[in-house]
Chain A
Amino acid sequence: MTVDRKEAGALLNDIAGIETRVRELLIYARVSDYLFIWGVIWIVGSVASQFLGVGHVRNMWLLLDSIGLLATAGTAGYRVSQRGGTGPTVFVIARAATSVFAFTAFGTLWITLTDMGWREQVTFWPSFIGFALFAIGLWAGRSIAIAGAVIFALALLGYAFAGDYLNLWMAAAGGGGMIAIGAWLRR
């Protein structure tokens, strides 16, 4: 069997194309895990916020965010152990937990410093997450960028038009949207 330079180049190009596509799919599968987790938390929190008194909302979100943080860290650790990675799983768990904590702390800091009203607070998180996903998607894969842009746009639409039902809008559009996008990424 002889292989000339042209054929070798074409085959190496095929290999590079397939590798890029598979890496994208693996990233999509991993991102979708976290979209499912936070989508459910978002729905529960937003629906409860619509009906709970103001005094209970902060504690409820604190509890839900803690559950989300633990679920994120646990999922990251489980995925690493499933992949048969060589690095210590505990570092991955710590890194995932720190990422969620830093993300939440950054948002909470600016909500507190700027004394946001409830509508702005409710809109801030999905728009923040949507924007972050968009930026990550520019590097990690086009579908994630599209998902981020959709979440961002839905958050702003809710802010403009959902009126007193903003929490319910965010439950459906934000939480439901994250779950739908997670399923779309796995298609």
Chain B
Amino acid sequence: MPDEIIHQAVRLKIMAALNACGARDFIEFTRLKALVDATDGNLGAHLETLARAGYIGLEKRFEGKRPQTRARITAAGRKAFAEHVAFLRNILDSSTE
């Protein structure tokens, strides 16, 4: 079964981006916005959804005087993403047989 939280297109891209990073690497909000091609409000809502599911961690801090939000994937998020990718691959594989 697909993971309904991850399956949404923007959230899938967010998870793909964070999954490509190391265990301690964060991606900043503005960079993530450019990567997944989302608006501020849209990205913020999707990040909150993923954080509530325990798939990502959000950190709010100040870079100089500017507030900054950054995200990184959790172990549970990495596992859920891997399972969802396996699910998608399985659909491709089974329909080519």
Contact = CB atoms under 8 A, between A and B. Distances in A.
A68 to B, nearest CB: 25
A22 B72 CA distance: 13
B7 A18 contact: no
Interface in A19-56: 19, 21-23, 25-26
Interface stretch (A80-88, A96-104, A160-168, A176-184): A80-88
Contacts, number: 68
B23 A15 contact: no
Determine the interface band of chain A, counting residues with CB < 8 A from chain B.
Answer: 20 to 34
Nearest to A85: B22
Nearest to B3: A1
A11 interface: yes
B92 A12 contact: yes
Interface of B: 1-2, 4, 7, 9, 12-13, 16-17, 19-25, 27, 31, 35-36, 85, 87-89, 91-92, 95-96
